[in-house]
A and B are shown apart, each in its own frame.
Chain A
Amino acid sequence: MIFNSFDFFIFLPIVFVIYWFIFNKKTQTQNAFILVASYIFYGLWDWRFLFLILASTIVDFYIGQAIYNNTLKKKRKAYLWISVVFNIGLLGFFKYYNFFIESWVDFISMTGYEISNTWTLKIILPVGISFYTFQTMSYSLDIYYKRLTPTKNFLSFATFVSFFPQLVAGPIERASNLLTQITSKRNFKYQQCTEGLKLILWGLFKKIVIADSIAPIVDDIFMNYNEYSASTLILGVSLFSFQVYGDFSGYSDIAIGTAKLFGIELMSNFKFPIFSRNVAEYWQRWHVSLSTWFRHYVYIPLGGSRVSKLKSVRNIIIIFLISGFWHGANWTFIAWGAIHALLFIPVFLMGRNRIYMNTVVAENSWLPSIKEFAQITLTFILVTFSRVFFRSQSITDAFGFLEQMYTHFTFEIYQHPQGYRMIDYFVLIGCFVVYEFRIRRDERSPFKFKSKIVRFIAYALVILGMLLFFDDSIDRSFIYFQF
């Protein structure tokens, strides 16, 4: 079941009403109900993979207790390794097995030996596996680092692992935030519910209007890149930047909004990354739950920035490569991670990686300064350039795309084969950027207007936008489901 489907439109109100009207007396019954709802939500996609979630839940529940109950460091470490190996093993098998086999076969063939590839398997990638395995691993890691006391309630833990709003594409939650809320009594709060509904509406807008409507244009340009000139290729990759942002941040908004309806606050995942002033700020604003995960559980344990500059640079390269690889079993993602490492390192060496941590662009003014505008533009260009690798099917395609850009460095007006009226999309993206800039201070309040009438007009325009750009003929699944 996906958030932008009619099934979810029916599912959500039913679950909401039962949750608050029937099971509102006891937290445990609410949790049990949410667990069942989450398993239905996931099982409607493919019920067989529920066993994987259940296995991951059982393993980390008992390992968490074992780590906590043992005082011997060796034993604690051994239990932690079981959790890590189990979760990484699940990921490794379902997500990376074929990649490793194919890469090995390619490597051998490069040395002059030919071996037939008979080991690859037809494996379906379980939706959300990269997200829930990281979430359960973080639970064991937090207990190991003595940042968390394990829960003794299996039901609560299972609900934490499979909480349907964030099960398939995050935000990747820490137990210290989500599990604590799951074990506590929740009360219905009108304010929280309306905030949730507004976030769902804004998320749907980003998904349906921004991401889905430009997807066919991006698909055409990337599929036929060798027929287009540089101007069209630049247009394609720029639009892809907006597509992937609309898609993933839209999903996150719907997830956070849905969780709010059940009295749960999830962490923010996107904080207007399109207005980042350097690559470091970009990573503080893009897929926050993943970047903080890597910082807490990989970068800091490796020494972070408290070690020598050289080692810090090594740590940065490691987390960006792993982060790239996390996105998919393809060299394109590793190259994408490597590019981001190369973009990040100069910012880090100049000591500018934390300067924008607590500020937003045009902090005290209506418009960004010329300097800020130039910074935002440069960051957007660099990040967008890296997306050539993120979006291409293979490394060969990515380099082919760049080569085509270089060899056909001309301007031509792009015309979609089906004759889409391109001006509509340019106006749309322009309006979207202006609106996002207007709300840039608070990612959780997309409709923050003093006047009720203005707010109402904004709701009406957002829904009108959904109608104007609704396209039933395209694949409506979320891009990050494949990760």
Chain B
Amino acid sequence: MKKLILKSTLYIFLIVMVLEGIVRVFHLGKDTPTRFLDPQKVEKWKPNQNGYSVTGNRRQNFSEYHINSSGYNSYREFTPTYDKTEIALVGDSFIEGFHQDYYNSIGKKMENLLPQVEVYEYGYAGYDFADQLHLIHSYKKEFDAIDHVILGIKFSNDLTRNTYQVVTGRLNLESPINKMLKKSKLLVYCKSIGVLDPPQEFVHRLINTLKRKKKPAPIHTNEALKLKQEKEKEYLANFKSLINKYGYDKRRFTLLLDSRITSPIFLSYLKQNDFSFIDFAPAFEASKKPTTLIYDRHWNNQGRSLIANAINNYLVNIDLNRNKLKLPKD
């Protein structure tokens, strides 16, 4: 028995070592850039990092990222001035675009369409509307020098807060233990493909059984509808609260949304109150090719091209160059 235990342990150790090597050599696991909180309490990536983002067990999607000196994934540095024409894209992982090579991002596609414009992509996974407005508010000087700002918004996710607070959960990923664990590429790979989900679920089930948590009562259709309406009202109130608190320049700011998954109440509020928005739903619906990745719901190359086109068409319509909307220097 002792022999069995000793040999099994040795074999497991050696196999783990070999797998760690294979994952590293074939770059099966993704690189995870370091996060940090800047002096303005804006959460972003630590500047000047490079790496590769990997999706799927067998590297089905492999792309390179580059974090610039502003802390965002982009091929260019963000240097807004009053002399140039700049567009800022602010949003979550869809704008951040780790799922694409950084030199083939939405911003780059837009610049190809509008050569005289510089596009700055302020994308960060998990950014909601509070994060976005807080970022703009904190870097007011820089954003004032930008001609137009596009804010990506997903109604059901991005309006759950009415004020900005640092999301400690995300920053906890930079704890010494997590940093140490991240050094094992095998562990990162296993986590990303879901191998570690069953043990986690097992632990949760065990805790729930020990705590004897009551199962939530099933919700009836009418009740669910009522809850949904209440949530929509709450999100709308959060939107109002956030724009009051951090400011929102209707002339220069435009929301980027998908009307298929946006509440009609919110859409009618935007229309009634002259908030500009770009709805990319028609372009996605008309697309004959898939618009998202296979193993991931983020936009693929086709999706990103459609988004770039939709923003480009909008900017052409508002005649960006003739209406220099930048705020005065002083």
Assess whether A463 is in contact with B15, with CB atoms less than 8 Å apart. yes
Q: Provided the pairs A10-B202, A460-B19 are in contact, do residues A193 and B4 lie with their beta carbons within 8 angstroms?
A: yes
Chain A interface (Cβ < 8 Å from any Cβ of B) = 5-7, 10, 20-21, 188, 190, 193-194, 197, 418-421, 424, 456, 459-460, 463-464, 467-473
Instruction: Report 29 cross-chain contacts, Cβ distance below 8 Å, ordered by A residue.
Output: A5-B198, A6-B199, A10-B202, A20-B1, A190-B3, A193-B4, A194-B4, A421-B58, A421-B60, A424-B58, A456-B11, A456-B15, A459-B11, A459-B15, A463-B15, A463-B19, A467-B57, A467-B189, A467-B190, A467-B195, A469-B57, A469-B58, A470-B193, A470-B194, A471-B57, A472-B193, A472-B194, A472-B197, A473-B194
Residue pair B1, A188 in contact (C-beta under 8 Å): yes
Alpha-carbon gap, A459 to B22, bound state (A):
14
Task: Given A5-B198, A6-B199, A463-B19, answer yes or no on A470-B57 (Cβ-Cβ < 8 Å).
Answer: yes
In the complex, which of the residues A419, A459, A467 has the most CB atoms of chain B within 10 Å of its own CB atom?
A467
What residues of A have a CB within 8 angstroms of the CB of B15 in the complex?
Answer: 456, 459-460, 463
B290 within 8 A of A: yes
Q: Which residues of B contact A5 (CB under 8 A)?
A: 198
Determine if B18 is an interface residue (Cβ-Cβ < 8 Å): yes
Q: Is B201 an interface residue (CB 8 A)?
A: yes
Knowing A197-B8, A464-B19, A470-B193, the reply to whether A456 touches B14 (Cβ < 8 A) is yes
Q: Is B294 part of the contact surface with A, judged by Cβ < 8 Å?
A: yes
Contact (Cβ within 8 A) B11 A467: no
Return the 10 tightest CB-CB contacts between A and B, nearest first.
A472-B194, A6-B198, A419-B294, A460-B18, A6-B202, A468-B57, A460-B15, A468-B58, A193-B4, A472-B197
In the bound complex, what is the Cα–Cα distance between A292 and B86 (angstroms)?
A: 78
Contact with A along B96-110 (1 / 0, CB 8 A): 000000000000000
Nearest CB in chain B: distance from A454 CB, A: 13
The reply to whether A7 and B194 form a contact with Cβ atoms under 8 Å apart is: no
Which of A197, A460, A470, A473 has a CB less than 8 Å from the CB of B195?
Answer: A470
Residue in chain A with minimal CB distance to B189: A467
- A433 nearest CB across to chain B (Å): 20
Which residues of chain A are near B8, meaning CB under 8 Å? 197
| Additional 16 contacts, C-beta under 8 A, given A188-B1, A456-B14, A467-B190 | A193-B4, A419-B294, A420-B294, A421-B58, A421-B60, A456-B11, A459-B11, A460-B22, A463-B15, A464-B22, A467-B57, A467-B189, A468-B57, A468-B58, A470-B194, A470-B195
Which residues of B, 80-101, contact A by the 8 Å Cβ criterion? Answer: none
B197 CB to closest chain A CB (Å) equals 5
Min Cβ gap B187→A in Å is: 12
Measured CB to CB, the closest approach of chain A to B238, in angstroms, equals 32
Task: Give A115 Cβ to nearest chain B Cβ, in Å.
Answer: 35
| Residue pair B294, A418 in contact (C-beta under 8 Å) | yes
The answer to whether B198 and A472 have CB atoms under 8 Å apart is yes
Q: Which B residues lie within 8 Å of A6 (CB)? A: 198-199, 201-202
**How many angstroms between the C-alpha atoms of A310 and B198 in the bound complex?**
56
Bound form: Cα–Cα A173–B80 in Å? 77
Scan residues 44-95 of chain B and give those whose CB is less than 8 A from a CB of chain A: 57-58, 60
Residues of chain A within 8 A (CB-CB) of B189 are 467
Docked CA distance A424–B294 (Å) = 15
| Residues 159-198 of chain B, each 1 if its beta carbon lies under 8 Å from chain A, else 0 | 0000000000000000000000000000001100111011
A349 to chain B, nearest CB (A): 49
Tell me the bound Cα distance from A421 to B60 in angstroms: 8
- Cβ of B57: which chain A residues have Cβ within 8 Å of it? 467-471
How many whole Å from B137's CB to the nearest CB in chain A? Answer: 40
| A residues less than 8 Å from B190 (CB atoms) | 467
CA–CA, A418 to B290, complex, Å? 9
Residues of B within 8 A of A197 (CB): 8
Residue of B whose beta carbon sits closest to that of A419: B294
Nearest CB in chain B: distance from A134 CB, A: 32
- Contact partners of B294 in chain A: CB under 8 A: 418-420
Query: What's the Cα separation between A21 and B194 when bound, in Å?
Result: 34
Tell me whether A190 and B198 are in contact (CB under 8 A).
no
Chain B residues positioned under 8 Å from A473 (CB to CB): 194
Return B202 CB to nearest CB of chain A, in Å. 5
Distance of A284 Cα from B190 Cα, bound (Å): 40
Q: Which residues 117-135 in B have Cβ within 8 Å of A in the complex?
A: none
B15-56 to A contact mask, C-beta < 8 Å, 1/0: 100110010000000000000000000000000000000000
* A469 to B193 CA separation, bound complex (whole angstroms): 9
CB distance from A12 to the nearest CB of B (A): 13
Q: Report how far A197 CA is from B7 CA in the complex, Å.
A: 12
Q: What CA separation (Å) do A419 and B302 show in the bound complex?
A: 14
Quick one: closest A residue to B2, CB to CB? A190
Q: Would you call A467 and B19 a contact (CB within 8 A)?
A: yes
